[in-house]
Chains A and B, each alone.
Chain A
Amino acid sequence: MNAGILLCLVILLPLIGGLFVLNAKDAVASNAKNARHTALLTVFSNILLILFLFSYFKSAESQTSGLIDIAFVLTNKIEFIFGADLFALVFVFGVQIAVFVGVLGVKKENQSQKGVLFFALCYLSMTNGYFFARDICSFYICFCGQLFPLYMLMCFANSEIQNTKLFYLFGHYFLGAALLFASFVLIMHTKQGDVLIEKISSVHFSHQKSIYIWGGIFLALMLRMPVWPFYHALTSVSVKLTNSLALIALNFLPLSGVYALTRYWPLDIPVEIELLSPIFQILCIVTMLVAAFGGFIYSNTSQKIHHYIFVYDLLYLLAVFLPTDVIKMNIAYSVFAFLLMGSCLIVLQSYMQNQSLKTGLALKGILCHMPKASLCYFLFVLAAIGLPVSAFFWNNFLIVSEIFNYHLYAGTAVIFAMTMAAVSLLEGAYELKTETCLPQTQVKIKDIDIFTFCVCILIMSVLLVSVVRPLWFVF
C-alpha cells in the first residue's frame, strides 16, 4: 500500500470512526456497548496501520531520514504537506496506545460516553495530523484543531468542573493558538507562501519581526506546557476530572508542545530572544521543583500522578532547549514509554476512584482487594519511578546526562525533582496497598476485568521488551 495513503488513513481513520461512534447503538438498558467497542476497534486499527507504517523504515539508520510526504494543493501559495519519520511515528504510536487504554477505561454505564468517545477520536485525528504536519499551514490547523474537541471532551467527561477554571485553561490554549497564528501569518507574508516548518529558521526576518515571530512561536508552545504560571489552570482542571480518557487527552497536550519544540526549534536560538533563555530555564526548573513538592505534600494519589506527569513534561522541555540534537530520539523513546505508563496509571487510578466512590470505601488499602489491579498498578509505578523495566530509564539517563553536560546545577535540581516525584508516586502506591482491617468477605469491590488486565500486561511486556530494543516492532 502506498505510504501516502497509509498516512492519510492514519489521520482520517479516527474521524471516520468517530462518525460511526455517533451512530452506534448505546442503550444502557440493553447493555449494548457498541460505541465503546467501535472506538476501541478504530484505535486498534490505527495502531495496526502505524505498525505497518513503521515497516517503511528498515533500519536504525533511517531514524532521521526516510520521510513519507503527501501534499494537498490549496492555492498556488498554500500546499498542505504531511510527512512521517521515525521520530513522529514513535510519538503517534504512543498516543494511539494511550488513547486505546483511555477508551478501555471509559465507564461503561456513563450515559454521555458517546460524546466523550466521539470527541476523543476527533482529538486523536487532529493530534495525528499535528504530528505528521510539515508545513506551517497544516501544522497550525492541527494545532488549533485539537482544542475544540478537547474542550468538548472535558465538558462531556465532567460537568462539575467550574466554568471559570475551564475558561482560564482554554484561554491559555487559545491565546497560544492566536500567537502562533500571528507568527505564521508574518512568516507567510514574508515568504509570500507556505513554508516547511524546518525551513523557518532559514528565512530572514527583520529584527522586530523576528522578535514577534520567534516570541510568538515560543509562547504559543509554552502556553501548552505546565510552566508556571500556566500550569495552575491545568492542575485545577486535572484534579476535578475523573474520566480517564479526558485526563489522558489533557496530558497529551504538553507533549505535543515538546514534540513541536524538539522538531522545529532551531539549535541556534535567535539572538533576539536568546537573552530570555536562562530566565526561561530557571522558570522551568522552579516549576519542576514546585510540581515535585506538590506531589510530595498531597496525599491524594491522583494529585501525585498529575504532579509526576508535570515533572516529566518539564524534563523534556528542558532537554529540548539544550543546544544539541543528539538526544532527539532518546526524547522520543522516553516519551513513548512515558505515554504508555502514564495512561495505564491514570486509567487504573480512576478505576480505583470510581470503585471507591461506588462502594463508599476509602482509597487507602483498596488494592488489597483488587489483586489484578494491584499487580498492574505496581508494575507501572515501578516503571514510572525509573526502574529499568522499560526504555524510559535508559533514555532518561542520557537526557539527564546531557543536561549535566550544559548545566550542572540544573541537572542537580532536575534529579532532585525527579526523586521527589518518584518517592511521592511510590508512597502513593504503598498507601493504596496498606492493609485495612476489613475482612475480605465484607468488601464488595470489583477488580479490573480480564480484558483490561491483559491489555495492561501486554503494554508492560511492550515496555519490557523495549529495554532490549526500543524499536523492536520495526520489521
Chain B
Amino acid sequence: MIENIIYTLSESSLIASIVGVLMSALFSQEGKKTCFKIAQIGILFSAFFAVLFYNKTFLEGFFSASWKTTLTYCICAFSALCWLWLSSKWFVKQDASSTRFCVLALFLMFLLSLIIKTTNVFVLYGGLAFLGLTQYALLKTSTSSESLYHFAAKYLFAALVCFAFLGCALYFLSGNSYHFDALAAFLQTQSALKAAGVVLGLFCCILFFVGAAPFHFWYADAVSASDLPVGTYFALVPNMACWSVFLSLYDKVFMPFSQNLKPIFVVFGCLSIVLGAIGANATRFIRKIFSFAYLYQLGVALLVLSTFREQSAFATYLYLEVYLFLMIGVYVCLFGMRLNGAHINNLSFLKGYASVRPYVSATMVFYILCLTGLPPFIGFATQFFMLFNVYRSLWLLYVILAGFLLLLPAYFRIIQTIYFFKKGYHFDRVEFGLYVALIVHIVFVLLLAFKPNFFMMQASLF
C-alpha cells in the first residue's frame, strides 16, 4: 500500500503543485511569477520521481512504467518546463493573471502522465476525455475574441464527437479485454464491425489529439489563433505523450490488424503530407506555417508506420522527438519577436527583422533548416534514418520527397521575409534570458548533430 502511494509521487507532486498554486494565488502578494515557479518546481519533482521509479507504478493492472514511458514523460516535462518559462515572460509583460493557466498546465501534465503510463483502454478513454476538456478550458483562457470563442466551441464539438464514437465502440468490450495486451486478441475473435469500431475508434481519437489529417482541422487554429502561451502548449507539450500512446497501441493493438490498417495509414499519411504542404504555403501566419509543417511530419511518420516493420515505431518516435526539440528553439525565437509589445504572428510584420535582430534571425533560420531536413543539419539525420531503415515502397518515398519539395517554399518565405525585405517596423528589444536560452539550445543541437549516438542509445528501449 505504502509502496503504491510512493509510486504515485510523480503524479501527486503535480496535484500538490496545483494546491500550492491555488494557495499562493489566494494568500500570496507575489503574483504571476510565483505561480509559475511553483508549477515548474512541481513538474521538476514529478519528472524526478518518474525517473526514480522508472519501472514502478501504482495499480499495475491499469498502468505500467518502463524506460520508454519514463523517457516520454521526461520529454513532456522538459517541454512543459520550457513552455512555462516562456509563458511566464508573456504573462509578466501582459500583466495577466496566471493562476488559472498554471493550474490547467499542471492538470494537463497530470493527465498526460496518466495517459503515457496507462495500459487500460477505459483509463485511456477517460484520460483523453479529460485531456480534451482541459485543453478546451486552456483555450478559453486566451484573450477573448469572437473567432477564438467559436474555435473553442468547434474544438469541443469535435472532441466530443470523437469521444462519443470511441465510447460507443468500447461499449462492446467485455471485462477481460480492456488491457492493451488482451485487446488485440479479443478483437480478432469479434466481428469485423466491432473490431473496426474499436480499433478505428482508438486510431481516430489519438490522431485527433495528435493533429494528423483528416483530424487536423483544429490544430492550426489552436496553435496560431490563441495566445502565444496557449499555442506553445499545443505545439510542444502533448504531442510526444499522444504519440507515445499511439505507438504503444500500434505495437500491441494495431499490429495484428496491419493488413487492414496499412491502407488507412497510407491514405491518412499522404493526406497529411499534402495538406501540410498546401496549408503551409496558404497561410501568412508564422505559427500556422509551423503547425502545418508539423502536419507534414506526422504524415511522414504515418507513412513510415504503414510499413509495420520492426524499427518503424522507434524511427518515428526519434523523428518526432528531434522535431519537438527543434520546435522548442523556434518558440524561444517567437517569444523574442515582438512589435509594440505584442508578439508577432503575421509574417508581413517580420519584414527586415534580421537587420535589427541578427542573432535571433540567424537562430530562427538555423532551426528552420534543421526542420526542413536539409543536410548537414540534424533534421536530415533523423529523416535519413527513418527512410533508410523502414522504407518499403518506392512510391511512398517519392510522395514524402514531393511533400518536402512542396513545403520548402513556405520555409523559405519566412527566411526571405526576415532577411530580404526592407525593414518596416521598429521591433522591441529581446530579453537577455532568451538569448541565453537560444545559445544553450543551439549548443545542445550542435552536440547532438555531432554525437548522434545519443539517439541511437534509445533504440534499446524499443
Residues of B within 8 A of A175 (CB): 405
Assess the B380–A141 pair: CB atoms within 8 A.
yes
Closest to B389 in A: A189
Partner-binding segment picked from B160-168, B206-214, B390-398: B390-398
Which residues in A have their C-beta under 8 angstroms from that of B391?
185, 189
Name the A residues within 8 Å of B397 (CB-CB).
182, 185-186
Determine if B388 and A185 form an interchain contact, defined as CB atoms under 8 angstroms apart: yes
Q: Which residues of A contact B456 (CB under 8 A)?
A: 75
Min CB gap A30→B, angstroms: 19
B452 & A75 in contact (Cβ 8 Å cutoff)? yes
Q: Is the CB of B388 within 8 A of A178?
A: no
- Whether a CB of chain B sits under 8 angstroms from the CB of A405 is no
Does A110 touch B at the CB level, under 8 Å? no
Given A74-B452, A178-B404, A182-B398: A155 touches B419 (CB 8 Å cut-off): yes
Q: Among B290-298, B326-334, B408-416, which stretch is in contact with chain A?
A: B408-416
Residues of A within 8 A of B405 (CB): 171, 174-175, 178
Contacts of A181 in B (CB 8 A): 401
When each residue 293-315 of chain A gets 1 if its CB lies under 8 Å from chain B and 0 otherwise, what string results?
Answer: 00000000000000000000000
Flag if A141 contacts B376 (CB, 8 Å).
yes
Which residues of chain B have C-beta atoms less than 8 A from A174's C-beta?
405, 408
Number of interface residues of B (CB under 8 A): 26
Q: Which residues of A contact B376 (CB under 8 A)?
A: 141, 145
Residue on B nearest A208 in the bound complex, by CB: B394
Chain B residue numbers with a CB within 8 Å of A142 are 375
Asked whether, in the complex, the Cβ of A186 is within 8 Å of the Cβ of B394, the reply is yes
**A210 shortest CB reach to chain B, Å:** 12
B310 CB to nearest chain A CB (Å): 14
Contact at B387–A163, with CB atoms within 8 Å?
Answer: no
* Interface membership of B369, Cβ < 8 A: yes
Q: Is the CB of A185 within 8 A of B387?
A: yes
Tell me how far the C-beta of B386 lies from the nearest C-beta in chain A, rounded to whole angstroms.
10
The answer on a CB contact under 8 Å between A148 and B452 is: no
Q: In the complex, what distance in Å separates the CA atom of A151 from the CA atom of B397?
A: 26
Residue A167 lies at the interface, judged by CB distance under 8 Å to chain B: yes
Cα A371 to Cα B452 in complex, Å, equals 58
Taken residue by residue from 144 to 176, chain A's Cβ proximity to chain B (1 for < 8 Å, 0 otherwise) reads as 110110011001100100010001001100110
> Are B375 and A140 neighbours in the complex by a CB distance under 8 Å?
yes
The answer for the CA separation of A189 and B396 in the assembled complex, in Å, is 15
Give the number of residues in A that approach B within 8 Å (Cβ atoms).
Answer: 32
Residues of B within 8 A of A171 (CB): 405
Within 8 Å CB of B425, what residues of A? none
From 411 to 438 in chain B, residues with beta carbon under 8 angstroms from any chain A beta carbon are 412, 415-416, 419-420
Chain A residues positioned under 8 Å from B196 (CB to CB): none
Min Cβ gap A166→B in Å is 9
Which has the most chain A C-beta neighbours within 10 Å: B374, B375, B398, B456? Answer: B375
Contacting residues of chain B (196-228) with chain A, CB-CB under 8 angstroms:
none
A115 to B362, CA, bound (A): 11
Q: Is A188 an interface residue (CB 8 A)?
A: yes
Which of A148, A189, A208 contacts B374, CB < 8 Å? A148
Q: Which residues in chain B, 339-380, are within 8 Å of chain A measured between CB atoms? A: 369, 374-376, 380
Residue from the list B374, B380, B415, B420 in contact with A159, Cβ < 8 A:
B420
State in angstroms the CA–CA spacing of A74 and B387 once bound together.
Answer: 17
Q: Is A44 an interface residue (CB 8 A)?
A: no
A185 CB contacts on chain B under 8 angstroms:
384, 387-388, 391, 397
- Least CB distance, B413 to chain A, in whole angstroms: 9
**Could you say which residues of chain A place their CB within 8 Å of the CB of B402?**
178
B412 is contacted by which of A75, A144, A151, A188 (Cβ under 8 Å)?
A: A151
Contact call A212/B394, Cβ cutoff below 8 A: yes
**Residues of B with C-beta under 8 A to A167:** 409, 412
Residues 63-113 of A at the B interface (beta carbon under 8 Å)? 74-75
Contact across chains for B401 and A182 when beta carbons are under 8 A apart: yes
CA distance A155 to B419 in the complex (A): 9
Chain B, Cβ-Cβ closest to A183 = B397
Q: Bound state CA distance, A170 and B412, in angstroms?
A: 11
Which residues of the partner chain B approach A151 to less than 8 Å between Cβ atoms? 412
15 residue pairs bridging A and B, Cβ less than 8 Å apart: A75-B452, A140-B375, A141-B376, A141-B380, A144-B375, A145-B375, A156-B420, A159-B420, A175-B405, A178-B404, A179-B401, A182-B397, A188-B388, A189-B391, A209-B394
- Taking Cβ atoms with an 8 Å cutoff, the residues of B that contact A are 369, 374-376, 380, 384, 387-388, 391, 394, 397-398, 401-402, 404-405, 408-409, 412, 415-416, 419-420, 452-453, 456
CB-based closest 8 A-B pairs: A141-B375, A178-B401, A144-B375, A141-B376, A155-B420, A185-B387, A145-B375, A182-B397
A-to-B contact residues, CB < 8 Å? 74-75, 115, 140-142, 144-145, 147-148, 151-152, 155-156, 159, 163, 167, 170-171, 174-175, 178-179, 181-182, 185-186, 188-189, 208-209, 212
Known: A174-B405, A175-B405, A182-B401. 4 other contacts (CB 8 A): A144-B374, A148-B374, A163-B416, A174-B408
